[in-house]
A = this chain, B = another copy of it.
Amino acid sequence: MRIGILGGGQLARMLALAGYPLGLEFSVLEPAADACALPLTRPVRSAYDDPAGLTQLAEACDRVTYEFENVPADAVAWLEQRVEVRPSPAALAVARDRLHEKRLFQEQGIGTAPFAPVDGPEDLERALASVGLPAILKTRTLGYDGKGQVVLNEGDEPAAAWKRIGGVPAILEGFVPFRREVSLISVRDANGTCRFYPLSENTHRDGILRLSLSRPEDPLQDQAETLARRVLEALDYVGVLAIEFFDLDGRLLANEMAPRVHNSGHWTIEGAVTSQFENHLRAVADLPLGETTPLGHAAMVNLIGAAPPTPDLLRIPGLHLHLYGKAPRPGRKIGHLTLVEETPERLQTRLAQVLERAPEVAW
């Protein structure tokens, strides 16, 4: 089966690497000439909203999926008339908009931080009154890695914050005193079968994910699966879905979701029987889902901006390196590394070795 992917970055690259062994073929629609998935797929070089490029992609594949949620809605709607798009455009429409996302969580009885829609500066005062301070003003769409967000503290000027995020439709979210952030990678096929990976426990710095630890026996696993299943079923979802949660002393609040493979699930390549990439493709291609059983305790460390010298990393026993073939640039995700050990203690020892050899990857 021929799979088309909207976007040719590292997620598309890792999807292709996982999918060739299943006998799948890959075309990628991507405007950038140096996108890192292009060397290993059939590239369709075009803007996402160029009808010629979209036509070429539609003709080159039997299914379409995407590696980011900010693909133009019109492009996806156009493609859907010609070829099956998974996850569905309806699911994408919810996941790409923070307000729709939060409302879906509410409808499904899933707790969230307090929030209020902000369509203009006049809404902001009202929102602040209901949400309280401190709070974060976030664009409804197009935000990622901490972009499109402004924190509002006592004494800040609301109008300035509204201007800083570009004066676009937004939501205001209250802070919640969370103990940790976890995410659940789940996958659902077209028959409704759902599978869930062990939770990931995530550490961010400057809004960018730095470290994910797999949590094979987390006490909140069942709670997370129950909540995720509601979302998967409400959206009649097909593919991998990632949901980020705040852990408030044992109660999970949904923060946001991503209708795609997710950075916090990269450890599944070596740390689970079937990776999130392979399972996403199995769902997209109507193949039976693979086991999500963990193969130990895993850690994933992002390489941000620049990577330490490859030999330094590869000398660490058992370290798995994933470079994306991207040029270094401050704040850019250019690779990750994964460690899998039998016990959390041995994993911590290995992580200490990583910090010793490559302190610049610190989380």
User: Which A14-37 residues have C-beta < 8 A from chain B?
Assistant: 16-17, 20-23, 25-26
Q: Which of A85-93, A230-238, A313-321 contacts B (4 or more CB under 8 A)?
A: A313-321
The answer on a CB contact under 8 Å between A20 and B22 is no
Q: Which residue of B lies closest to A40 (CB)?
A: B40
Residues of B contacting A23 with CB < 8 Å? Answer: 307, 310, 321, 323, 325, 335
- How many identical subunits does the complex contain? 2
The answer on a CB contact under 8 Å between A21 and B17 is yes
A120: Cβ under 8 A from any B Cβ: no
Residues of B contacting A17 with CB < 8 Å? Answer: 17, 20-21
Q: Which of A63-71, A147-155, A246-254, A283-291 contacts B (4 or more CB under 8 A)?
A: A283-291
Contact with B along A86-118 (1 / 0, CB 8 A): 000000000000000000000000000000000
Q: Of B25, B40, B287, B321, which contacts A325 at CB under 8 A?
A: B25
**A73, chain B: closest CB distance, angstroms:** 30
The answer on a CB contact under 8 Å between A40 and B16 is yes
Q: Determine the distance from Cα of A278 to Cα of B291 in the docked complex, in whole angstroms.
A: 24
User: Which A321-363 residues have C-beta < 8 A from chain B?
Assistant: 321-323, 325, 335
The answer on a CB contact under 8 Å between B291 and A314 is no
Q: Determine the distance from Cα of A26 to Cα of B17 in the docked complex, in whole angstroms.
A: 14
Overall SS of chain A's interface: mixed
Given that A40-B16, A310-B287 are contacting pairs, would A22 and B321 also be in contact in the complex, using a CB cutoff of 8 Å? yes
The answer on a CB contact under 8 Å between A317 and B295 is no
Residues of B contacting A138 with CB < 8 Å? Answer: none
**A216, chain B: closest CB distance, angstroms:** 16
Q: Which residue of B lies closest to A326 (CB)?
A: B23
Residues of B contacting A318 with CB < 8 Å? Answer: 273, 291, 293
Residues of B contacting A42 with CB < 8 Å? Answer: 39
Contact with B along A270-302 (1 / 0, CB 8 A): 000100000000100001101101010000000
Q: Of B41, B295, B323, which contacts A295 at CB under 8 A?
A: B295
Residues of B contacting A311 with CB < 8 Å? Answer: 287-288
A188: Cβ under 8 A from any B Cβ: no
A262: Cβ under 8 A from any B Cβ: no
A260: Cβ under 8 A from any B Cβ: no
A140: Cβ under 8 A from any B Cβ: no
A residues near B (Cβ < 8 Å) are 13, 16-17, 20-23, 25-26, 39-42, 273, 282, 287-288, 290-291, 293, 295, 307, 310-311, 314-315, 317-318, 320-323, 325, 335
New A-B contacts (5) at CB < 8 Å, excluding given A21-B322, A22-B314, A291-B317 = A16-B40, A20-B40, A22-B321, A23-B321, A39-B41
